[in-house]
Amino acid sequence: MRRALLALAYFLASGVALAFLVLPIVAIFVHVSPGRLIDQLSNPVVRDALVVSLKTTLIAQVLVLGFGTPTAYLLASRRFPGRSLCVTLVELPLVLPPAVAGIGLLVAFGRFGLLGGALRSVGITLPFTQAAVTIAVAFVSSPLYVRQAIAAFEAVDPNLVAASRTLGAGPARTFFRVVLPLARGGLGAGEALAFARGLGEFGATIMFAGSLQGVTQTLPLAIYAQFEVNLDVTLAISALLVLISLALLISLKLASLWPWQPSEQTSRSRFGSLSWS
């Protein structure tokens, strides 16, 4: 009897939890008819926001991959004083409230910010431009990628790196032929998370870049801007973002099924990590 009650309690609790999580998503799609949702997508506000979002997020992700990958590899493969501090600094934007990140970016790169004068002297004004959106997106999404990338690189058996070197491959060839292919599942997962976070960025962007349609107004900013103008448009954008997020989540799950995950690598033995002196 008590067992049956307990089972019922579990069942009820998980039912409530799942319904709670799914209901808002469902509501977006059922509030108005699918036909009207699709019609709204041709609204110029939506089109402009989509272009701004895709452009800034893609450029931001190129920056995150380009700078984040070597940073993660350095932090994963070398032990040096201050390493933990570096890892913590890299993770900082993850716990920082987005509005704080926005203010920080403003007083760092803004017209009267720390680097504002230097930037202005070479003719660059960042705030309220598309570059500012890109910077805000890169700032908040980078830790999701770098954290995952550090873990992925650390999971590569150091013996394989050592083996590559004794087989005549230099550090670069070793990285591209051994480390990167073995870490790519984890790197892909990290990148998918960072992309999703970047696409949904709101707080830092609105502080640092504003919300100018066609210039800095991304999809989430357009939702906010259209909220009191046209609810159907906000719902259409929301539905669009749900679908993109869902696609990313599925690709993330698929990435984790990638054939040679760390568990399949040969087990570690006494060769430690290789120093790159």
CB-based burial label for 226 (10 Å; 0-12, 13-18, 19+): buried
Contact 231, 163 (CB under 8 A): no
Per CB under 8 A, which region of 50-58, 97-105, 202-210, 268-276 contacts other proteins? 268-276
Residue whose token pair is 């679908």:
243
Nearer to other proteins, 7 or 167 (CB): 167
Nearer to other proteins, 54 or 274 (CB): 274
Helix (H) or strand (E) holding 47: helix 44-77
Question: Residue 58 or 163: which CB sits closer to other proteins?
Answer: 163
Q: Is 84 in the site for other proteins (CB under 8 A)?
A: no
Measured CA to CA, the distance from residue 105 to residue 120 in angstroms comes to 15
Going from the C-alpha of 41 to that of each of 48, 149, 197, 216, 236, the distances in angstroms are 10, 36, 22, 18, 6
The residue range among 14-22, 44-52, 123-131, 155-163 that interacts with other proteins, by the rule CB under 8 A, is: 155-163
Task: Rank residues 2 and 79 by Cβ distance to other proteins and give the closer one.
Answer: 79
Q: Are 198 and 138 spatial neighbours (Cβ–Cβ below 8 Å)?
A: yes
Structure tokens at 99: 């509005």
Residues 50, 205: Cα–Cα separation, whole Å: 15
118: amino acid identity, one letter: A
Contact positions with other proteins (CB under 8 A) in 230-259? 259
Minimum CB distance to other proteins smaller for 42 or for 269:
269
Q: Does 40 bind other proteins (CB under 8 A)?
A: no
Query: Between residue 165 and residue 184, which ones bind other proteins under the rule CB under 8 A?
Result: 165-170, 177-178, 181-182
Residue type, 193: L
77 near other proteins (CB under 8 A): no
Instruction: Rule CB under 8 A: say whether 61 interacts with other proteins.
Output: no
| CB 74, min distance to other proteins, A | 18
**10 forms part of the interface with other proteins (CB under 8 A):** no
Q: Using alpha carbons only, what angle is made at residue 150 by residues 81 and 140, rounded to the nearest 5 degrees? A: 100
Which of 157, 188, 191, 240 lies at the binding interface for other proteins (CB under 8 A)? 157
Residue type, 212: L
**Is residue 274 a contact point for other proteins (CB under 8 A)?**
yes
Using the minimum distance from each CB to other proteins, give the nearer residue, 149 or 196: 149
Using the 8-state DSSP alphabet, how is residue 179 labeled?
I
Q: Which residues bind other proteins (CB under 8 A)?
A: 157, 159-160, 162-170, 177-178, 181-182, 259-260, 264-267, 269-271, 274-275, 277
